[in-house]
Chain A
Amino acid sequence: MSNSVSDLEIGSYERYGFHQPEKYLVKMDKGLSRHVVEEISEYKNEPSWMREFRLKALDIFLKFPMPTWGADLSGVHFDDIHYYVRPTEKPQQNWDEVPEEIKDTFVKLGIPEAERKFLAGVGAQYESEMVYHSLQKQWEEMGVIFLDTDTGLRQYPDLFREYFAKVVPLSDNKLAALNSAVWSGGSFIYIPPGVHVTIPLQAYFRINAQNMGQFERTLIIADEGSNVHYVEGCTAPVYSSDSLHAAVVECFAKKGARLRYTTIQNWSRNVYNLVTKRAVAEEDAIVEWVDCNLGSKTTMKYPAVFLKGRGARADILSVAYAGSGQHIEAGSKVIHAAPHTTSVIVSKSISRGGGRTSYRGLLKVLAGAVGAKSNVRCDALLMDEESRSDTYPYMDVKEEKSTLGHEATVSKIADEQLFYLMTRGLSQSQATALIVQGFIEPVVKELPMEYALEMNRLIQLQMEGSVG
């Protein structure tokens, strides 16, 4: 079997020196100060309220302690980070210098050539402008706004201000405060009442793609009765020289709206991925987080839904994969604040080669949320004896007339299942991959088809290295 799997493992990115720091010709000094924040704001030519907002966030960031629970964050050094690099001055990497193994992975994943360059950080933009433009025209006719967040602020200042930082306030947590101070890029989406966007909006359709920024800020508003699916990330490994990613995502689903947010995260293994994602669901609205976490050194991510309106619903589906040296803390938070709200949480995690996955969840039912129903299911698969799996759910119920259930299991792949498949002629790695695919299927089937295919191929690649 080829060694292609090893390129997904820790070390390979560094080994191939997949970055060229000397190409940063103009950049801000490392570290964070009032001056840096002011400069970011000035460069972006922002309204004064945003500048004030950033400065206030900076104060809060400096005041807050680092979270002591969850993953080990002692490797995050805030003074050693460039907080802003102008997009035009982003380092251009040379396709020839992209390691063969990564290129090979792209081929195996079946990623088109144009996209490969983009994913490897070589192409400045995704070369499918024609496709994008025709879609963009359709959306514009429907009144859909789909811009990067900086442009969103410039073009729709009032709409922006009405929703910005309303579900993730400044003082929410240290990393959200950091993002608020230095945010740049991300998506700004508004779907007018009653509009159904049938094609998923994908982050990398955006032409002036700042979509893989360190401190991106995404704001999605699905107005009454609308329907939208937003997809970010990709299954292929994404190299980043930035050691910290602290994004904030805020979503609003108005009455009767349906909003799905799909993330596929496969950062290189040097990245701390600390993301705050939160949504508000009003009456009869549905919010769905589909969250796949494959990469990064450390991830701490707990997509949250605040069920504010009667009959609102939250679905959170997540897959976490932790290989050697990785600690993936993925979880969920649901707050039932209105009667007859429901939530379903399904979490699947796989630990292999000494990796550690943790599920950390919060389920809160406030008094008065009569008839709230919630079901949580966490399944963990341990592939070898070096790996670790943890489950830390928390249920807090103040309403008598509610029903909650939580179930979690941890196990390894059953020998009988492997044996059965191998008697049918599959190799051990094929059999393992098949079982793992079956294990994560409830989540993968919710992904758009091309992502689901890639995801399954990726799992196959990972599993080839896991046995024999």
Chain B
Amino acid sequence: MDSRTIATQETISSLPTPFSTTAHRLAALEAAQRNWIPKRTNEDWRHLDPNAFPWEEAHAAASSQNHEPVKVGFQTDAHLPVIEAAQLQALLAIQEEDTDAKFLYLHRAMTSTAAAYRIPANSQRLSARIVHGISGPAALTTALVVEKGASAVFYNCWESETNDVLPAIGRIEIVLEPGARLHFLHEDKLGFRTHLYTRARVQIAEGAHLDWGVLTTGSVWHAAKMEVELLGSGAESTFYGLYCGAGKRSAEHRTIQYHPCARAKSELLFKSLLTEKSHSVFQGMIRVERAAQHTDAYQACRNLLLSPAAHTEAIPRLEILADDVRCSHGATVGTVDEDILFYLMTRGLSRAQATAAVAAGFAEEVVRRVPLKDVADRWRQFVEQTISHSLT
């Protein structure tokens, strides 16, 4: 493959006009100050403490002009045009009544770079990788518009070079035009003292198909709201996620499968592997509007506890207003089955090896869906590292 790295810093760090102006930034800062920190009484924030986010550092970073730039490495098969300012602005719009508006305005005020690309119509099997590296409080932005009939694999990674206490706020906005296909892979592996808030949304038009893989590791505090909107007949989405919890990490993943239109399909599998004192919250919602007849929606959440101090909360939800639909969800929580361990131990494995094998198998259901071999291998490494925490 003639993959080539095209110049990165210039193309990415120069934001389109409305974003780069001081007035824009100050207005966002003012809005961030005006909005409250989400209250714990709010249903969305009952399980993960919003006050644990380093608000002061985030405000300080948003107020100062010169924060550490986000370094971006970009590799792609072909030149990708950037998304025009007006569309990007529409994608990153903030609803005034949004519970998490404070995060989103801070994100806007801190934004200095944005990776915002179009994948041209009818491109076939385009492959692109982008890595954002942060070294201070940061706003991370990835926006993609996959044009009609295009197909692509896009790998997006957020990582940091420091283990300082850092606030980071990320936004992912993806649009799939009719008939587009995208396999989007996302890795969160920021430093272990990073506090990360992520808002991600994919809008899927008729006949378009999304595969979305997510690996969460790193960040001591992580709140992610991830939404797929199936906006046309024949739209399909498959989401698979894996959270590797270790140390005192807390992560909340809120997913929304939103079905306003008929004859769309969505599937979701989220797995948490929890060791030490880690904490996982999964809140999954399937919402099927009245018009969305013939919806097929599924959601599964599986939790494997490998430590007596691990804590998991699973809240799968269904809101169904149409009658001719197939919607179901399942959630399970458990530890490694003693019978299976016993079986493996009779074959000569130590208890630790047997546990590691079962846990790796648990994660494999997610990892094997990753289409890029090197990425899949790296995910396996993360899984192994996580498991090793529980066996020492």
* B325 touches which of A367, A394, A398, A412 (Cβ 8 Å): A412
A317 interface residue per 8 A CB criterion: no
Q: Which B residue sits closest to A381, measured CB to CB? A: B323
B26 interface residue per 8 A CB criterion: no
A44 interface residue per 8 A CB criterion: no
CB pair B316–A367 under 8 Å, yes or no, is no
Q: Which A residue sits closest to B282, measured CB to CB? A: A395
Contact mask A85-129 → B, CB, 8 Å, 1/0? 000000000000000000000000000000000000000000000
Contact mask B45-65 → A, CB, 8 Å, 1/0? 000000000000000000000
Report A224 CB to chain B, min CB distance, Å: 32
CB pair B331–A393 under 8 Å, yes or no, is yes
Residues of chain B contacted by A386 (CB below 8 angstroms): 290
CB pair A394–B334 under 8 Å, yes or no, is no
Given A402-B334, A403-B334, decide whether A394 and B315 contact each other with a Cβ distance below 8 A.
yes
Q: Tell me the chain A residues, 154-202 only, with Cβ under 8 Å from chain B.
A: none
B98 interface residue per 8 A CB criterion: no
A405 interface residue per 8 A CB criterion: yes
Report A14 CB to chain B, min CB distance, Å: 27
Residues of chain A contacted by B320 (CB below 8 angstroms): 380, 382, 388-390, 410
* A400 touches which of B310, B313, B316, B324 (Cβ 8 Å): B310
Given A388-B320, A390-B318, A391-B318, decide whether A407 and B329 contact each other with a Cβ distance below 8 A.
yes
B37 interface residue per 8 A CB criterion: no
* B328 touches which of A385, A393, A409 (Cβ 8 Å): A409
CB pair A395–B323 under 8 Å, yes or no, is no
Given A385-B323, A391-B329, decide whether A400 and B317 contact each other with a Cβ distance below 8 A.
no
Given the complex of chains A and B, what is the CA–CA distance between A107 and B199 in angstroms?
Answer: 59
Residues of chain A contacted by B317 (CB below 8 angstroms): 390-393
Given the complex of chains A and B, what is the CA–CA distance between A321 and B226 in angstroms?
Answer: 33
Residues of chain A contacted by B324 (CB below 8 angstroms): 385, 412
B306 interface residue per 8 A CB criterion: yes
Given the complex of chains A and B, what is the CA–CA distance between A383 and B317 in angstroms?
Answer: 20
CB pair B316–A393 under 8 Å, yes or no, is yes
Given A400-B307, A412-B324, decide whether A389 and B313 contact each other with a Cβ distance below 8 A.
no
Residues of chain A contacted by B306 (CB below 8 angstroms): 400
Residues of chain A contacted by B330 (CB below 8 angstroms): 405-408
A462 interface residue per 8 A CB criterion: no
Given the complex of chains A and B, what is the CA–CA distance between A393 and B330 in angstroms?
Answer: 10
CB pair B316–A388 under 8 Å, yes or no, is no
Given the complex of chains A and B, what is the CA–CA distance between A186 and B43 in angstroms?
Answer: 34
Residues of chain B contacted by A400 (CB below 8 angstroms): 305-308, 310, 335
Contact mask B296-318 → A, CB, 8 Å, 1/0? 00000001011111111111111
CB pair A395–B314 under 8 Å, yes or no, is yes
Residues of chain B contacted by A394 (CB below 8 angstroms): 313-315
CB pair B331–A405 under 8 Å, yes or no, is yes
Residues of chain A contacted by B319 (CB below 8 angstroms): 388, 390
Q: Tell me the chain B residues, 324-347 only, with Cβ under 8 Å from chain A.
A: 324-335
B92 interface residue per 8 A CB criterion: no
Residues of chain A contacted by B305 (CB below 8 angstroms): 397, 399-400, 402
A396 interface residue per 8 A CB criterion: yes
Max chain B Cβ within 10 angstroms of own Cβ: one of A383, A386, A392: A392
Q: Which A residue sits closest to B335, measured CB to CB? A: A400
Residues of chain B contacted by A408 (CB below 8 angstroms): 316, 318, 328-330
Report B388 CB to chain A, min CB distance, Å: 17
Report B41 CB to chain A, min CB distance, Å: 8
Given the complex of chains A and B, what is the CA–CA distance between A443 and B329 in angstroms?
Answer: 21
Q: Which B residue sits closest to A415, measured CB to CB? A: B324
CB pair A397–B311 under 8 Å, yes or no, is yes
CB pair B325–A399 under 8 Å, yes or no, is no
Given the complex of chains A and B, what is the CA–CA distance between A367 and B323 in angstroms?
Answer: 40
Given the complex of chains A and B, what is the CA–CA distance between A385 and B315 in angstroms?
Answer: 26
Residues of chain B contacted by A409 (CB below 8 angstroms): 326-328
Given A385-B293, A388-B320, A404-B334, decide whether A397 and B328 contact each other with a Cβ distance below 8 A.
no
* B318 touches which of A385, A395, A410, A412 (Cβ 8 Å): A410
A401 interface residue per 8 A CB criterion: yes
Residues of chain B contacted by A405 (CB below 8 angstroms): 330-332
Residues of chain B contacted by A402 (CB below 8 angstroms): 305, 333-335
CB pair B290–A385 under 8 Å, yes or no, is yes
CB pair B323–A397 under 8 Å, yes or no, is no
A384 interface residue per 8 A CB criterion: yes
Contact mask B140-168 → A, CB, 8 Å, 1/0? 00000000000000000000000000000
A20 interface residue per 8 A CB criterion: no
Residues of chain B contacted by A397 (CB below 8 angstroms): 303, 305, 311-314, 333
Q: Tell me the chain B residues, 269-284 only, with Cβ under 8 Å from chain A.
A: none
Q: Which B residue sits closest to A394, measured CB to CB? A: B315
CB pair B325–A411 under 8 Å, yes or no, is yes
Given the complex of chains A and B, what is the CA–CA distance between A324 and B365 in angstroms?
Answer: 43
Residues of chain A contacted by B327 (CB below 8 angstroms): 409-411
CB pair B328–A398 under 8 Å, yes or no, is no
A387 interface residue per 8 A CB criterion: yes
A49 interface residue per 8 A CB criterion: no
Q: Tell me the chain B residues, 23-77 only, with Cβ under 8 Å from chain A.
A: 43
Contact mask A352-385 → B, CB, 8 Å, 1/0? 0000000000000101000000000000101111
A43 interface residue per 8 A CB criterion: no
Max chain A Cβ within 10 angstroms of own Cβ: one of B318, B323, B327, B329: B323
Given the complex of chains A and B, what is the CA–CA distance between A397 and B282 in angstroms?
Answer: 12
Report A48 CB to chain B, min CB distance, Å: 37
CB pair B316–A406 under 8 Å, yes or no, is yes
B372 interface residue per 8 A CB criterion: no
Q: Which B residue sits closest to A404, measured CB to CB? A: B333
Given the complex of chains A and B, what is the CA–CA distance between A5 and B391 in angstroms?
Answer: 64
Given the complex of chains A and B, what is the CA–CA distance between A402 and B324 in angstroms?
Answer: 36
Given the complex of chains A and B, what is the CA–CA distance between A385 and B320 in angstroms?
Answer: 10
Residues of chain A contacted by B310 (CB below 8 angstroms): 400
Given the complex of chains A and B, what is the CA–CA distance between A85 and B364 in angstroms?
Answer: 65
Contact mask A323-348 → B, CB, 8 Å, 1/0? 00000000000000000000000000
Q: Which B residue sits closest to A364, measured CB to CB? A: B313
Given A408-B318, A411-B325, A412-B323, decide whether A396 and B335 contact each other with a Cβ distance below 8 A.
no
Given the complex of chains A and B, what is the CA–CA distance between A389 and B330 in angstroms?
Answer: 16
Q: Which A residue sits closest to B291, measured CB to CB? A: A385
Max chain B Cβ within 10 angstroms of own Cβ: one of A389, A400, A402: A400
CB pair B331–A406 under 8 Å, yes or no, is yes
Max chain A Cβ within 10 angstroms of own Cβ: one of B290, B317, B333, B334: B333
Report A201 CB to chain B, min CB distance, Å: 37
Residues of chain B contacted by A393 (CB below 8 angstroms): 314-317, 331
Given the complex of chains A and B, what is the CA–CA distance between A384 and B321 in angstroms?
Answer: 9
Residues of chain A contacted by B328 (CB below 8 angstroms): 407-410
Given A390-B318, A400-B306, decide whether A395 and B325 contact each other with a Cβ distance below 8 A.
no
Given the complex of chains A and B, what is the CA–CA distance between A382 and B320 in angstroms?
Answer: 9
Report A371 CB to chain B, min CB distance, Å: 10
Extra pairs beyond A407-B329, A412-B325 (9, CB < 8 Å): A380-B318, A380-B320, A393-B316, A393-B331, A395-B315, A397-B313, A404-B333, A406-B331, A411-B326
> Which 9 residue pairs across A and B have the least CB separation, nearest first?
A382-B323, A409-B328, A391-B318, A400-B305, A404-B333, A406-B331, A403-B334, A395-B314, A410-B327
Q: Could you list 19 A-B pairs, sorted by A, with CB under 8 Å?
A: A380-B320, A382-B323, A385-B324, A388-B319, A388-B321, A389-B318, A391-B317, A393-B331, A394-B314, A395-B313, A395-B314, A396-B312, A397-B312, A397-B314, A403-B334, A404-B332, A408-B329, A409-B327, A410-B320
